[in-house]
Structure 1
Amino acid sequence: MSSRIALLAAVSVLATAGAARAADIALEQPVAVEAVKEGWIVTLKATGTYAPKFEGTKKYGFSGFPGISIRRPGQPWKFGAPDDGFGFAVIDTPWLQIGPVARIRSERDSSDARKFRHMDDIEWGVEPGAFVEVYPLEVLRIRGELRHGVWGSDGFVGNISADYIQRIDKFTVSFGPRTEIGDSDFTNTYFGVSRREASFYGGRIRAYKADGGVKSVGVAGAVTYDWTDNWATTAFGAYNHLTGDAGKSPVAKQLGTKNSYTVGLGLAYSFGVNW
């Protein structure tokens, strides 16, 4: 358990490009963002979601997680969707961003859903990788992520998304499609059924090996309101549909569902630091 916690903490620190300085941030006196001329602008985030306990199940629950981002004063505003992986740009131009990214995938605890009680548990997934963002138009962002599991699964997984973005006074509105792709190792980890697992269901489900491909498609949208230069609130929602071998799996067709929804609310506080 301690090694798992340490690994999750390390990935979060590296992926957010600045969490290692969190202790220093707490010592700084907050100042209005527009008044910051040098140093850094730090944004601390807290997000709560209502979503499936794990992918494929019909059981929903609440969860929360923190976040952090850091930018230089004067850097142009850049859009970030609530369902982006944690990352930062090492190549940062008005139309192109490239950098490292990471995601943490929910564990599958078979005790959370009655129909899954004979399925193996799956540990929390840790997926580091890289992302690319392009802006073919000022109001259109296309983002791709490619990651490899180092905990939970050991396969490759990728996300492709597009967002139409509009800023209207203090509101920022975004909406667009989502696709997730996984290789055989990734897809079979979460949607495969072993002979041993199938044997507990008395013939109601069969053993199943899931191959790679397009795992899911969906849409996501968000609305952010800037209350002040320091405080902002984001409400968001998403719909996801399992497809390919994931959608054909007994995990989705008999034990759970192909369709899922996520809603959430986030709060962000930005302030300046001089270091």
Structure 2
Amino acid sequence: MTFRFAALLAAPFALCSTLAPAADLGSLRTLRSPMMVQAETYVVTLTANGQFMPRFPGSDKLTGIGYPSLNIRRAGEPPRFAAPDDGFSISLYDEIPELRFGPVVRVQGGRYYSDDRRLVGLRKINWSVEPGIFLEYFPVSFIRARVELRYALNGAEGFVGNAGLDFIAPIDRLTLSVGPRLSFGDANYVRRYFGVTPAEAAANAIIPAAYRPGADVTAAGVLAAASYQWNETWGTTIYGGYNRLIGDAGRSPIPRLIGSRDQWIFGASVSYSFNWTR
């Protein structure tokens, strides 16, 4: 049984790649009675993460954040694969090693005038929290498919999701992974980040006309990562990803005239592991 948790120290996350790093709270099972409880040893992993991503969905400028993460698993259990762009999740079912599902949450950064002066006249969008569910499946040991469906609250409201496929290559202490990504959203979600009202178009000197997008696939891209376990204590990970805004999001004047349809993410982390007995 594995427990993994990550806590954010900075708010902004990019929409199209929803660049958030991987975190997994593992599986939750029924607690045993006090008479059955024996001392157990766990492996605790503390990780320091850093990431660069677009300042707002559709931006052509990058911003950086840093945050810690925590992973707890039983000693002797192999660590599960997790991609750097997975949402923060809890696995409620892992009786079949190839299948897992449970709740997930992501944080999406907002869009503010301070991000880019060319946004003058466009609405400010506060950060959003996106709770939902995830499903993960390994058809074979070196391929993982994962889908997340979430509902955004606060800055934006609407359904949003991500789908990805990872090809995993463990080579001794090195683990390489690469795979395609898709992002999608309903009409309310896409309009919040990529729509332009007539009043906004009149107030902005760059955007000539209103734009009303609908539900669509918003981005397609790829993510690659390399993790190296130096010893039982220390490990490092580096990763990079690219997403292209497509569909109604890609046709929006916000990325086309103010920002960019090309969205990049880069990140690295350092982890420290130790044993804990309770």
Global fold match (TM > 0.5): yes
- Structural mapping, 1:58-137, within 5 Å: 58-92=60-94, 93-137=96-140
- State the Cα distance separating 1:114 from its structure 2 match: 2.0
- TM-score for both structures, normalised by structure 2: 0.83
Which of the pair is proportionally richer in helix? Answer: 1
- Equivalent residue number for residue 157 of structure 2: 154
CA displacement 1:152-185 (0-9 Å, x = unmatched): 2111111100000011011000000000110011
The yes-or-no answer on 1:238 pairing with 2:241 is yes
Among 165, 182, 186, the alignment partner of 2:185 is 182
The yes-or-no answer on 1:222 pairing with 2:222 is no
CA displacement 1:196-243 (0-9 Å, x = unmatched): 211112574211112111010000000001111121100000001001
Given residue 78 of structure 2, which amino acid in structure 1 is its aligned partner?
P
- TM-score for both structures, normalised by structure 1: 0.84
> Structure 1 residues 138 and 119 mapped into 2: Cα distance closer, same or farther (>3 Å)?
same
Runs of 4+ in structure 1 off by over 3 angstroms are 15-18
Equivalences, count: 245
- Equivalent residue number for residue 254 of structure 2: 251
> Structure 1 residues 248 and 129 mapped into 2: Cα distance closer, same or farther (>3 Å)?
same
SS in 2 for 1:163: strand
Which of the pair is proportionally richer in strand? Answer: 2
Cα distance in 1 for residues equivalent to 2:152 and 2:192: 11
The yes-or-no answer on 1:194 pairing with 2:197 is yes
- Equivalent residue number for residue 18 of structure 2: none
Cα distance in 2 for residues equivalent to 1:264 and 1:105: 17
Cα distance in 1 for residues equivalent to 2:82 and 2:99: 14
| Paired residues of 1:135 and 1:141 also in contact (CA < 8 A) | yes
| Paired residues of 1:16 and 1:68 also in contact (CA < 8 A) | no
- State the Cα distance separating 1:16 from its structure 2 match: 5.7
| Paired residues of 1:181 and 1:215 also in contact (CA < 8 A) | yes
Cα RMSD after superposing both structures: 1.9
Q: Which moved more, 1:44-53 or 1:173-182?
A: 44-53
The yes-or-no answer on 1:143 pairing with 2:146 is yes
- State the Cα distance separating 1:272 from its structure 2 match: 2.4
- State the Cα distance separating 1:38 from its structure 2 match: 2.1
Alignment gaps of 5+ in structure 1: 9-14, 19-36
Identity of aligned residues (%): 41
- Equivalent residue number for residue 41 of structure 1: 43
Cα distance in 2 for residues equivalent to 1:146 and 1:127: 9
- Equivalent residue number for residue 277 of structure 2: 274
Given residue 85 of structure 2, which amino acid in structure 1 is its aligned partner?
D
Q: Which moved more, 1:264-273 or 1:167-176?
A: 264-273
Cα distance in 2 for residues equivalent to 1:203 and 1:251: 9
- Equivalent residue number for residue 16 of structure 2: none
| Paired residues of 1:236 and 1:265 also in contact (CA < 8 A) | yes
Cα distance in 2 for residues equivalent to 1:202 and 1:45: 44
Alignment gaps of 5+ in structure 2: 1-7, 12-22, 27-38
